[in-house]
Amino acid sequence: MSRIYELMAAELSDKVRSQEVSAEEHLHSILERIDRVDEKIHAYVTIAREEAIARAREIDKKARRGEKLGLLAGVVVAVKDNICTKGIRTTCSSRMLENFVPPYDATVIERLKTSDAIIIGKTNMDEFAMGSTTETSYFGATRNPWNLDKVPGGSSGGSAAAVIAEEATAALGSDTGGSIRCPASYCSDVGLKPTYGLVSRYGLISYANSLEQIGPITRTVRDCALLLSVISGHDSRDSTSVKIPREDYLKYLISDVKGLRIGLPREFFGEGVEEDAKEPVLEAVGKLEEFGASCCEISIPAMKYALPAYYIIAMSEASSNLARYDGLRYGYRDENDEGNFDEVFSRNRRIGFGAEVRRRIILGTYALSAGYFEQYYLKALKIRTLIRRDFERAFKDVDIIIGPTMPLLPFNIGERIDDPLKLYMCDILTVPANLTGYPALSVPSGFRKSLPVGMQIIGKPFDEGTLLRVAYTFEQNTGYHKYRPPL
């Protein structure tokens, strides 16, 4: 017999609307699930129990009164802790913001609420979204539900772990260089980084604003389409938000890839990408060919510069975005208030930020400083343009690009954390979509050594529809979305 916390967002909202299941009983089954498994996984930083119960009761009341309920009626959503939630602490998993309670909701949160979703709590992440393992959190690491010794990926590791462990029906993450797709791949979720500008960043605490987007993390492609339909669309409070008509992405859920042209970049299957990460993806591509797609090898020559370019741009933007945390206007303020402004400022930041965040602020400040600006930052911007041109050229001949999401299987907690360069290497296959702004989705494509492997599908700007159609076709004909970790 299936338990109600297992329901997908699409099924659940139908049942809440028809009053077959009440939002409150469903929420309680999720809360019990959290009480049972989160001690092992540590997906959550904050659980907003009381607020969630009050919301569930309101939704049930609306249903009883016969009012029209929204697309996500009763759906329990976990939110990455760098997205502002009014009245609910938003920490970025940093000591700096340990006690920050935003006075406003991010646009995506407003939209979730308008569609009758329930915000259950805030999920753990790498501090200020800087990392790929969720180990740099001030509140301690999150564990991979498939194997508690392994990392869940990052930086949205709490969101991805919560969803596959059924501690939430769906989640939001943010992706600056892979932070939605990496943990989706490592936890066997569907994770989508939308085209830059499709989803409002208003209320997202910035790490590297020219690269990042908020996006859904779910167990099925249908739920991904559902959440995207709710959170996307123009917002005048984000100047980079694009003015295009809102879409109903559910219409792309068609199991058909006949005539689809797939490009396989040589660089995504070459040196540095482990066999265990490649094989399931090549098998998946074989399946898509059986269903009528064709594929060819392509090349993205500028890929070899993608990682250094990404890290220079991300760190430079971070050094500027994080300058506001001085302990005076915002953030951690040490009891010891002695000294002049510089001394107080440095002390608050030294204690308030963890080692990785400090490293990036220092390197980013260096890359932007007079004399080095042209040598590092400007050069990185030029490489960004070259990579974009490579992708534009490739997309003249193909409809989508496929590769692994991650170059290696989930590794042990503690294994790479002391070697930043080794950690940065994990992002090699995810950063191109951020540098170009193109949409990219990770879909479960099998297991190796009992650990999940994700397939990455990259599309043309604003062509989320094709990504969803391809992912849906694969999912419906294989069924990897039905597996659950042994908890």
**Residues identified as active-site:** 80, 155, 179
**283-290 CB contacts, 8 Å cutoff, 24+ apart:** 283/445, 283/446, 284/402, 284/445, 284/446, 284/455, 284/474, 284/478, 285/402, 287/474, 287/477, 287/478, 288/257, 288/260, 288/262, 288/402, 288/470, 288/473, 288/474
| Token pair for 175 | 């992706």
Task: Quote the CA–CA distance of 388 and 375 in Å, as a whole number.
Answer: 20
Burial level of 279, CB count in 10 A (0-12/13-18/19+)?
A: middle
- Among positions 70, 102, 121, 177, the unique one binding ligand GLN when judged by CB under 6 A: 177
Applying CB under 6 A, does 9 fall inside the site for ligand GLN? Answer: no
Determine the number of helices (DSSP H) and then strands (DSSP E) in the chain.
15, 11
Cβ-proximal residue to ligand GLN, closest one = 179
Judged by CB under 6 A, the chain residues 297 through 326 that form the site for ligand GLN are: 314
Measured from the CB atom, the residue of 420 and 461 that comes closer to ligand GLN is 420
Judged by CB under 6 A, the chain residues 396 through 435 that form the site for ligand GLN are: 427
Region near ligand GLN per CB under 6 A, out of 30-38, 177-185, 375-383, 404-412: 177-185
- Among positions 22, 85, 176, 456, the unique one binding ligand GLN when judged by CB under 6 A: 176
Measured from the CB atom, the residue of 162 and 429 that comes closer to ligand GLN is 429
Name the residue with tokens 């490489």.
Answer: 383
- Among positions 175, 235, 317, 475, the unique one binding ligand GLN when judged by CB under 6 A: 175
Task: Quote the CA–CA distance of 76 and 7 in Å, as a whole number.
Answer: 10
Applying CB under 6 A, does 233 fall inside the site for ligand GLN? Answer: no
* Contact flags string 199-228 toward ligand GLN, x per CB under 6 A: --------x---------------------
Region near ligand GLN per CB under 6 A, out of 125-133, 157-165, 215-223, 296-304: 125-133
CB atoms within 10 A of CB 258: 9
In the complex, least distance from residue 486 CB atom to ligand GLN, rounded to whole angstroms: 28
The H or E element containing residue 454 is strand 451-458
Applying CB under 6 A, does 172 fall inside the site for ligand GLN? Answer: no
- Among positions 130, 205, 260, 264, the unique one binding ligand GLN when judged by CB under 6 A: 130
Applying CB under 6 A, does 442 fall inside the site for ligand GLN? Answer: no
Angle formed by the axes of helices 379-394 and 306-321, to 10°?
A: 130
| Dihedral in degrees, nearest 10, Cα atoms 264, 270, 452, 112 | -50
In the complex, least distance from residue 454 CB atom to ligand GLN, rounded to whole angstroms: 15
Angle formed by the axes of helices 355-368 and 341-352, to 10°?
A: 130
In the complex, least distance from residue 213 CB atom to ligand GLN, rounded to whole angstroms: 10
In the complex, least distance from residue 451 CB atom to ligand GLN, rounded to whole angstroms: 19
Name the residue with tokens 């070259």.
Answer: 386
In the complex, least distance from residue 113 CB atom to ligand GLN, rounded to whole angstroms: 25
| Token pair for 382 | 């030029």
Applying CB under 6 A, does 155 fall inside the site for ligand GLN? Answer: yes
Name the residue with tokens 């360069």.
Answer: 421
Binding site for ligand GLN (CB under 6 A): 129-132, 155, 175-179, 207, 314, 427
